[in-house]
Amino acid sequence: MGVVVVAAGSGTRLGAERPKAFVEVVGTTILERAVAGVLEAAVDELVVVVPEDLVAEATGRVDPLRPEGVDVTVVAGGAERTDSVAAGLAALSDAVSVVLVHDAARCLTPVVVFERVLAALAAGAAGAIPGVPVVDTIKVVDAGGVITATPLRDSLRAVQTPQGFDRALLTAAHASGAAATDDAALVEALGHDVIVVEGDALGLKITTVDDLARAERLLSDH
Ligand code: CTP
Ligand code: MG
């Protein structure tokens, strides 16, 4: 199984001095926490995607975490998340038939979430992603702010990563060149069923300063 960890974003909403993956949470970078978490799963190959000017630094940070027998490669990402995922996919060897794409910013994700995604794929799903029930009522609005729909809350899930797919299918989905905020949307657009498995509160994405503070609290609780 191959994993692509995308860590090439700039972290505009976090507003730190360094790109988000290089910001520390309780003394360890988001990048290193994410990679260490991923490596608790049954990984054969890992590709880490970072800003071009930080490939050397990221290699130095990730290399000491590499277990015997696991291939780890660090490559440069692109302007959009989709570009970074595509760069990561291209760096996987031909031996990889199942791939998980994971946001470095979700660096507290427990290994059980990786295992649930992998179990769904092993059971035959073309794609599987973690999700949690939403607590708010969600409205669909038009450009003028007028509500056009109120989806039943019980049918909604807030989705996380790792998102797992048949590697060839995800590569084909990316070949469309479409933009999307997650990989599942690209695979759904090809008409394939993607399954949502149970996510975890620790799968939160560190996006804002508040999220960073929350992640620090969660770590001190464990
Ligand atoms: N990402 C990436 N390449 C990009 C944009 C995002 O690899 N061009 C990665 C981020 O590093 C992050 C994940 O995709 O791990 C989710 O993106 P997000 O949380 O939006 O991170 P940023 O884009 O860095 O943050 P912001 O949108 O606030 O700038
Ligand atoms: Mg972003």
- What domains does the chain contain, in order, with CATH numbers? 2-221 (3.90.550.10)
Above 0.95 for ipTM, yes or no?
Answer: yes
DSSP states of 130-188 as a string? EEEE-SS---EE-TTS-EEE---GGG-EEE-S-EEEEHHHHHHHHHT----SSHHHHHH
Angle of helix 167-175 versus helix 81-90 axis, rounded to 10? 130
pLDDT tens, position by position, for the chain (222 residues)?
999 999 999 999 999 999 999 999 999 999 999 999 999 999 999 999 999 999 999 999 999 999 999 999 999 999 999 999 999 999 999 999 999 999 999 999 999 999 999 999 999 999 999 999 999 999 999 999 999 999 999 999 999 999 999 999 999 999 988 888 999 999 999 999 999 999 999 999 999 999 999 999 999 876
Query: Which 8-state DSSP code applies to residue 9?
Result: -
- How far is ligand 2, taken at its centre, from the CA of residue 103, in Å? 10
Pick the residue whose CA is nearest to atom 25 on ligand 1. Answer: 11
Residue nearest to atom 10 of ligand 1 (CA): 9
Tokens of 27: 């003394």
Atom of ligand 1 nearest to the CA of 103: 15
101 ligand 1 Cβ < 6 A: no
Can you tell me the distance from the alpha carbon of 222 to that of 210, in angstroms, rounded to the nearest whole number?
A: 19
